[in-house]
Amino acid sequence: MPIGEVIESSTRQFVAEVYREQAPPALGSWVQVRQPDGQTVYGLVSHVEIGSVEPGRRPVALGRSPDELRREMPHVLELIRTTFRAQVLAYEEPGGPIRQTLPPYPASIHAFVEVCPPDIVQRLGPPYDFLRTLVQNPDPAVPVDDLLVAVLRQIYNGHRDAEREQALIAAGRVLSRLLRDDHERLQAILRRVV
């Protein structure tokens, strides 16, 4: 089920606006965009933002609960929108394997965005090449270690109980190599995962 639409796109990332009745995806979660030609672009949510639909205009405190706002001032909620940015880390051609690299072209504007189901999250796992992109080319607006914690949580939660620990160990090994023996940093990341 679509949660929003792409409103800005490049081969490296896309921005999507969340439909009003939908909750935004969690930081570090995988989302997918199906292209008109059948290709699927996979992105990792690296930033979520709630703000005004009008640039430069900020919402003001009204002293009402969300339920009161919906009942008494529904027009105010029409002026708020939720957007998220996803780093593009993989794509899949129709009938082909998932490739953990940038796609040949960006996600289409107004294409629907969906949260990836658990089976896709599992397929986006080993060899965890996307972790290299996150470590070496992070989203500049987000602390990379916090994003890595969120990603590792998604890996852990995306597997069944018996497979969770093994998936986390495999991703942790890849991350250990990428962090080049910065054991303190790796431990700080792993402590915050589970």
Residue 17 token pair:
């606006």
pLDDT tens digits, residue range 117-161? 988 998 998 899 999 999 998 888 889 999 999 999 988 888 888
In sequence order, which residues have a C-beta less than 8 Å from that of residue 129 and are 6 or more positions away? 100, 101
Cα separation, 110 vs 84, whole angstroms: 14
Domain edges within the chain: 1-117, 125-193
Quote the pLDDT of residue 92: 96
Quote the pLDDT of residue 139: 84
Asked whether 116 and 42 are in contact (CB, 8 A), the reply is yes
Cα separation, 137 vs 48, whole angstroms: 19
Residue with the two structure tokens 């969340």: 18
Quote the pLDDT of residue 52: 84
DSSP conformational letter for 11: S
Asked if residue 194 has pLDDT above 80, the reply is no
Q: What are phi and psi of 145, to 5 degrees?
A: -65, -35
Burial readout 78-107 (b: 16 or more C-beta within 10 A, e: otherwise): eeebbbbbbbbbbbbeeeeeeebebbeebb
Cα separation, 88 vs 44, whole angstroms: 7
* pTM: predicted TM-score of the whole model, two decimal places: 0.90
Residue 186 token pair:
């790796």
Cα separation, 180 vs 177, whole angstroms: 5
pLDDT tens digits, residue range 18-76? 998 899 999 999 999 999 999 999 999 999 999 888 878 888 888 888 888 888 888 88
Quote the pLDDT of residue 109: 97
Quote the pLDDT of residue 56: 80
Quote the pLDDT of residue 25: 97
Quote the pLDDT of residue 162: 81
Quote the pLDDT of residue 61: 84
86 vs 74, more confident: 86
